[in-house]
Structure formats: structure tokens, C-alpha cells
């Protein structure tokens, strides 16, 4: 996409210093900028690069005053970093603002689709599906029967959404994710063979949720698996049947939440955390990477370890563990000296 310095300044409510008609078609780091690229300067550590960059346009704070001649066009704004972030979001929305229906794709006659939709090639839209306004379904996606997807949500390529799933507004589901597959429910019969328990519930994803690539969220056995408003899930995360993730909780990659566990609001959970089933985890938790959670946690705790315990105690214990050979050697030396100095009873 092509933008002039003036168009960018209008979006950011900034002021152009230089050639307002110069055009940019890409974004770069300031130290790697070349002709036709846009970059920004907010960290003074990178200020020397503004005099050597070949980027066509640089966004800077309005307080910036060059110490020598600059070849590039400047756009002065209140806050260069936040303005650049705003521009990235604008660029991303414009880039992904596809519309129309590509062929081949299958759309059931009973499906209801809002305006400004995008249905990518080889996608499947099942019976009684309801898509809101400005919903984007990228190629090779499967949307099962009776699925509801709210306004402005995006489903990237290769996503599979099983029947009865409900997805709110402004959600993003990245490629390869599977929403609503059967929960891991099996029971042994009298012969010790495991028989599948029918999973007849669904998945509910509320508004403003982001789900990373290749993540899986299982449908409930009965009722719903629920991802509350504002949750952000990284790539390759597993949320099991009947679990609930509280609003504005963020979870890093490769974490697994077992069935029927409820995670509170505003929690921060690191990568490769394992959370056992049927637990209640409080609000505002911080769970460090690779921790194992096997019991309920109260509000506001910061934990680490497997099984996890208080973060401060973990690091005190780790220091001792790391120095255990030295400590053992010192204790052996003390014991040896004590035995040598012990008076003879005979």
C-alpha cells in the first residue's frame, strides 16, 4: 500500500517537515531504512541513525530538533512511539480489509452473512451460521453448523470452528486453531476399555479475544467452555472442556488448562505452564513459565515451580539448591572437624 507523508500526518494529526508528497510503501527499522520506507524515532539511543537513514519518512516527537542536516522527511507528533503503533494498527486493518466471496467456497443457503464480508477460497460455511458485519473468513476455513461470529471478527486461514460455537465481536483467531472439538472425555467399561463420553456442549468466546495459531479450545461435555472478554491466548495453547478463562487474562505459548478449571480475571500465565483439572484459580495471578499448578490459588499470588509455590520462596530455595554441592561439602568439613575434636570417652 502507498501513502504520502501528508496522508500519514493527517492520520496522526502531525506536522510534516520536508516533502509532504514523498510516498512510502513499506515500514522499516530506522537503522535499516531505505528509499520508500517509513520508520520512527522515540528512543534517543537510536538518534544517530536519523542522520544516516535512507528512509523516506521518519516519525519523531514534536520536541525533536536536529543537530545537523537531515535528508529525510519528518512528521512531528506528540508521541512518536504511540503514533507509530497507531499507524501500524491502521496499516494492518487496511491490509486485511478484504471484501467479497472468492471461488470456490461453500455457503449454506440458511447462513446469514452481514455486509462487508470476506469469504476466502475453499472455505465452508455451514447451516444456520450467522456472521456479523465486516467478518473476515480467510481461505480453507471451516465454520460448522449454527456457529455465530460477531461484528469485525477475523478467522484466519485453516481455522476449524465446530458446530454451536459462539464468538463475539472484534475477535481474532489465527491460522490452524481448532475451536469446539470434543473434550478429552473417556470412561473405562467393565473390560477396562475406554469408551468416549459424548461431548454435547459448546464453546463461547466473548468480545475482544485473540487466539494464537494452532491453539485448541474443546467444547464442553455439557454447558460451555468459556473464554471471557479481552482474553489473549498465545500460539499452541490447549483449553480443555468446561474450563473458563476470566476476562483480560493473558496466557503464553504451550500452556495447557485441564478440564473444568476456572482461571480468574487479569491473570498473567507464562509459557509451558500445566494446570490440573477442577481447580479454581483467583484473580490477578502471576504464574511463571513451566510451573505446574495442582491446587487452588487465592487472588494476587505470584507462583513458580512444579508443583508451584510462592515466587519469593521458590527463588530462595533455588539459590540453596544451586549451591547444594558447596553446602554439602561445607557441612561434611564441619562434621569431620567436629569428630576430630570430640573428646575421647576412654
Residues 157-182: tens digit of each pLDDT: 999 999 999 999 999 999 999 999 99
User: Residue 173 pairs with which residues in a beta bridge?
Assistant: 155, 211
pLDDT-based confidence at 343, cuts 50/70/90? low
332 domain residue, yes or no: no
Tell me what pLDDT residue 224 has.
97
Parallel, antiparallel or unpaired: strands 210-211 and 232-233:
parallel
Tell me what pLDDT residue 318 has.
80
Tell me what pLDDT residue 345 has.
54
pLDDT above 70 coverage of the chain, percent: 99
Same domain, 153 and 260: yes
Tell me what pLDDT residue 199 has.
93
How confident is the model over 197-218, as pLDDT tens digits? 899 999 999 999 999 999 999 9
Tell me what pLDDT residue 102 has.
95
Residue 346: is its pLDDT beyond 60? Answer: no
Tell me what pLDDT residue 342 has.
63
Q: Known catalytic residue: 241?
A: yes
How confident is the model over 278-302, as pLDDT tens digits? 999 999 999 999 999 999 999 999 9
Same domain, 10 and 105: no
Mean pLDDT, residues 187-192: 90
76 domain residue, yes or no: yes
340 domain residue, yes or no: no
210 domain residue, yes or no: yes
State how far the alpha carbon of 77 is from the alpha carbons of 10, 19, 82, 89, 338, in Å: 11, 16, 9, 17, 73
Range of the domain at 44: 3-95
70 domain residue, yes or no: yes
Query: CA 132, CA 150: separation in Å to the nearest integer?
Result: 5
208 domain residue, yes or no: yes
pLDDT-based confidence at 320, cuts 50/70/90? confident
Tell me what pLDDT residue 127 has.
98
Last residue of a domain, which of 95, 117, 143? 95
- Give the chain's mean pLDDT: 93
Asked if 221 and 164 touch (Cβ cutoff 8 Å), the reply is no
How confident is the model over 239-279, as pLDDT tens digits? 999 999 999 999 999 999 999 999 999 999 999 999 999 99
Same domain, 140 and 286: yes
334 domain residue, yes or no: no
330 domain residue, yes or no: no
Q: CB 215: neighbour CB atoms within 10 A?
A: 24
Question: What are the DSSP calls for 139-201, one per residue?
Answer: TT-EE-TT-EE-TT-EE-TT-EE-TT-EE-TT-EE-TT-EEEEPP--EEE-TTS-EEEPP---
CATH of the domain at 217: 2.160.10.10
Last residue of a domain, which of 95, 123, 143? 95
Same domain, 157 and 275: yes
CATH of the domain at 65: 3.40.1390.10
How confident is the model over 34-87, as pLDDT tens digits? 999 999 999 889 999 999 999 999 999 999 999 888 999 999 999 999 998 888
Could you tell me which of 59, 12, 16, 18 has the C-alpha nearest to residue 39?
59
Residue 27: is its pLDDT beyond 60? Answer: yes
Same domain, 143 and 70: no
Same domain, 53 and 193: no
Tell me what pLDDT residue 229 has.
98
Tell me what pLDDT residue 23 has.
94
| pTM, 2 dp | 0.80
Buried b (16+ CB within 10 A) or exposed e, 318-340: eeeeeeeeeeeeeeeeeeeeeee
Same domain, 53 and 115: no
Q: Give the number of residues written for the chain.
A: 346
Q: How many domains does the chain have?
A: 2
Residue 327: is its pLDDT beyond 90? Answer: no
Out of 174, 241, 266, 278, which one is annotated catalytic?
Answer: 241
Mean pLDDT, residues 220-235: 97
Amino acid at each position: 500500500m502507498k501513502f504520502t507523508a501528508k496522508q500519514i500526518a493527517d492520520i496522526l494529526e502531525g506536522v510534516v517537515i520536508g516533502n509532504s508528497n514523498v510516498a512510502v510503501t513499506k515500514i522499516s527499522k530506522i537503522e535499516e531504512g531505505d528509499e520508500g520506507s517509513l520508520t520512527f524515532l522515540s528512543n534517543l539511543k537510536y538518534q544517530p541513525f536519523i542522520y544516516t537513514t535512507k528512509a523516506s519518512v521518519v516519525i519523531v516527537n514534536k520536541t525533536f530538533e536536529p543537530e545537523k542536516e537531515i535528508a529525510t522527511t519528518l512528521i512531528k507528533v506528540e508521541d512518536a512511539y504511540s503514533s507509530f503503533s497507531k499507524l501500524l494498527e491502521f496499516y494492518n486493518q487496511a491490509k486485511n480489509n478484504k471484501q467479497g466471496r472468492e471461488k470456490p467456497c461453500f455457503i449454506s443457503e440458511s447462513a446469514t452473512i452481514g455486509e462487508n464480508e470476506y469469504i476466502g477460497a475453499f472455505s465452508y460455511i455451514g447451516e444456520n451460521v450467522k456472521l456479523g458485519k465486516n467478518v473476515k473468513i480467510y481461505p480453507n476455513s471451516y465454520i460448522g453448523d449454527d456457529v455465530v461470529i460477531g461484528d469485525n471478527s477475523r478467522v484466519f486461514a485453516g481455522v476449524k470452528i465446530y458446530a454451536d460455537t459462539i464468538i463475539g465481536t472484534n475477535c481474532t483467531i489465527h491460522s490452524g486453531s481448532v475451536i469446539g472439538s470434543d473434550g478429552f472425555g473417556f470412561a473405562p467399561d467393565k473390560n477396562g476399555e475406554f469408551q468416549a463420553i459424548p461431548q454435547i456442549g459448546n464453546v463461547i468466546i466473548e468480545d475482544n479475544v485473540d487466539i494464537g495459531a494452532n491453539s485448541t479450545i474443546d467444547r464442553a461435555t455439557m454447558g460451555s467452555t468459556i473464554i471471557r472478554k479481552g482474553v489473549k491466548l498465545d500460539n499452541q495453547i490447549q483449553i480443555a472442556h468446561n474450563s473458563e478463562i476470566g476476562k483480560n487474562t493473558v496466557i503464553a505459548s504451550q500452556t495447557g488448562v485441564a478440564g473444568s478449571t476456572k482461571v480468574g480475571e487479569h491473570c498473567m500465565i507464562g509459557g509451558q505452564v500445566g494446570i490440573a483439572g477442577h481447580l479454581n484459580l483467583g484473580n490477578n495471578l502471576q504464574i511463571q513459565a513451566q510451573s505446574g499448578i495442582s491446587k487452588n490459588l487465592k487472588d494476587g499470588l505470584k507462583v513458580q515451580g512444579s508443583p508451584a509455590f510462592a515466587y519469593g520462596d521458590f527463588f530462595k530455595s533455588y539459590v540453596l539448591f544451586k549451591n547444594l554441592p558447596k553446602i554439602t561439602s561445607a557441612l561434611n568439613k564441619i562434621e569431620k572437624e567436629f569428630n576430630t575434636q570430640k573428646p575421647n570417652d576412654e
